[in-house]
Copies of this chain bind each other. A is one copy, B any other.
Amino acid sequence: MLVASASSLTPYALRQQIRQGKFKGNTSGQAAGFVQCNLAIIPADYANEFLRFCQANPKPCPLIGMAASPGDYLISDAGEDVDIRTDVPAYQLFEHGEPTAKVPDLLEVWRDDLVTFMLGCSFSFEEALLADGLEIRNITEGVNVPMYRTNLPCTPAGRFSGNMVVSMRPMPAAAAIRAIQICSRFPAVHGAPVHLGDPALIGIKDISKPDFGDAVTIRDGELPVFWACGVTPQLAIRQAKPPFCITHSPGCMLVTDIPNSKLSVL
């Protein structure tokens, strides 16, 4: 069973399997201990504005690295021999903000004006929380983390704008305080939560009905804790409607050679 054994693969070996079409699935839980990234690949005409959007909104859009030049598909920042066209299990293509196709590689669609951005994802901080003994409800219940649109506006940059999307993990108060401490060490993967407690205060009308992902159980005495979410830049890109762009397919991330601990600022 390839998938069962893959979690012990190095990031390099896993990327080779992906490149060869032998690993096609969700990267969650694979190459444990290494940073996985959200991908945004957009035309050069939009790239500087998107870079400014990331810098102005570091909690939802934590930029871990980017291609040095338009057209670059070898991303040395991400690790050994990373070819961004082939080393992610699945990609989503967009035209004018609308999804058009899900593809297993970018060899046929690559263009010389495409700029690659790698953004931090919650897998890294979830690993740090689990290592500390905290429970993460979406993992316990085996579902996708619930995500919600909020009324918290991002700082606009050029054609990029929109409200923040957040992920939610319910916790008892003492665990929430500990999670804030741990996540504060990792600003490159969304950092400390942006809100906790009453969902209505950030424009969430019904906590049992996430806009993305799955609902999870909130037990008596638990607080919903909200983190800025990587869906935020994806929606901002769709709203900006570039003629063409690419993201990873949900759950199919770029697995880098960067140890999670390298992202810790403390």
Contacts and interface: CB of A to CB of B under 8 A. Distances in A.
A174 B195 contact: yes
A9 interface: no
Contacts of A201: 172-173, 221
A69 interface: no
A197 B197 CA distance: 7
Contacts of A181: 180-181, 184, 192
A194 interface: yes
Contacts of A196: 173, 176-177, 196-197, 223
A195 B173 contact: yes
How many A residues touch the partner, as a band? 10 to 19
Copies held by the complex = 2
A90 to B, nearest CB: 35
A230 interface: no
B177 A197 contact: no
Contacts of A266: 266
Given A181-B184, A184-B181, A174 B194 contact: yes
A266 B185 CA distance: 11
A198 interface: yes
Closest 9 CB pairs of A and B: A180-B180, A173-B195, A181-B184, A173-B197, A201-B221, A173-B196, A197-B223, A177-B192, A177-B180
22 contacts: A173-B195, A173-B196, A173-B197, A173-B198, A173-B201, A174-B194, A174-B195, A176-B196, A177-B180, A177-B194, A177-B195, A177-B196, A180-B180, A180-B192, A181-B192, A196-B196, A196-B197, A197-B197, A197-B223, A198-B221, A201-B221, A266-B266
